[in-house]
Amino acid sequence: MTMPAQAQAIIGGAVTAQIGLVGALTQAGAQYILVPTIPDLGLTPASRAGGGILTAADFAAYRVREMAPLRCAYRGHVFVSAPPPSSGGTTICQILGILEGYDLPALGFRSAESVHLMVEAMRHAYLDRNTHLGDPDFVKNPVERLISADYAAAIRAKIGRPVAEEDDVFLLSYYRQLKSRLERKLLFGKRREDKYASD
């Protein structure tokens, strides 16, 4: 299947723009984002057009913060990933911690039992991700608890049955957690508005 010429032009232009940005960052380093160049690429007008609050002053005030990476172990292997505000590392570590308590090879590759356990581990981990994790400037992230062996064991006790949890029970719990997260997001948005109003 041949890609339409218009699509080729759009993709080609996007790639060219990315290459130009990478080249500029390579030459100027982090200082590149402290000058008007990136806002001039159209980010700030796009933000305004979409009802956003991003301004050139935000880029000028931005400072990079180096944070200690997140580490966890799985069957003798060390997994290293990004800490919050990225939630991926915490979620993967939680999933691995839950699954480490099962003899997955003995259950068979892609067997019903092994798939069931992996899906349940992911379902619980993503529920916790959507409930507890966020920008550490505004949210307290209980990372150590979420990736602890005790917490993984508590989750395994819930999913040790050969069938998935009743959907209505799980969805009710998810609804409550989602409602709580939405309320926190609304509060977070208000804090951001207050912050920019005071600047």
Walk me through the domains of the chain, giving residue ranges and CATH numbers.
5-61 (no CATH), 70-198 (1.10.246.130)
CA-based nearest residue to 55, from 81, 78, 36, 74: 36
CA-based nearest residue to 97, from 161, 55, 132, 143: 143
User: First and final CA of the chain: distance in angstroms?
Assistant: 53
Query: Within 13 Å and on the Cβ side, how many CA atoms surround 166?
Result: 3
* 84 contacts: CB under 8 Å, gap ≥ 6: 90, 133, 134, 135, 136, 141, 143
Report pLDDT for 49. 86
Report pLDDT for 66. 86
Beta bridge partners of 72: 79
- With vertex at residue 137, the alpha carbon angle to CA 48 and CA 59, rounded to the nearest 5 degrees, is 40
Report pLDDT for 161. 59
Pairwise CA distance, residues 196 & 199, whole Å: 5
What's the pTM value of the predicted model, to 2 decimals? Answer: 0.63
pLDDT in tens, the chain (199 residues): 444 454 344 444 444 455 566 666 667 666 655 555 555 567 778 788 888 888 878 877 777 788 899 999 999 999 999 999 999 999 999 999 999 999 999 999 989 899 999 999 999 999 999 999 999 988 999 999 999 999 999 999 998 655 545 555 555 666 666 666 666 666 555 554 454 444 4
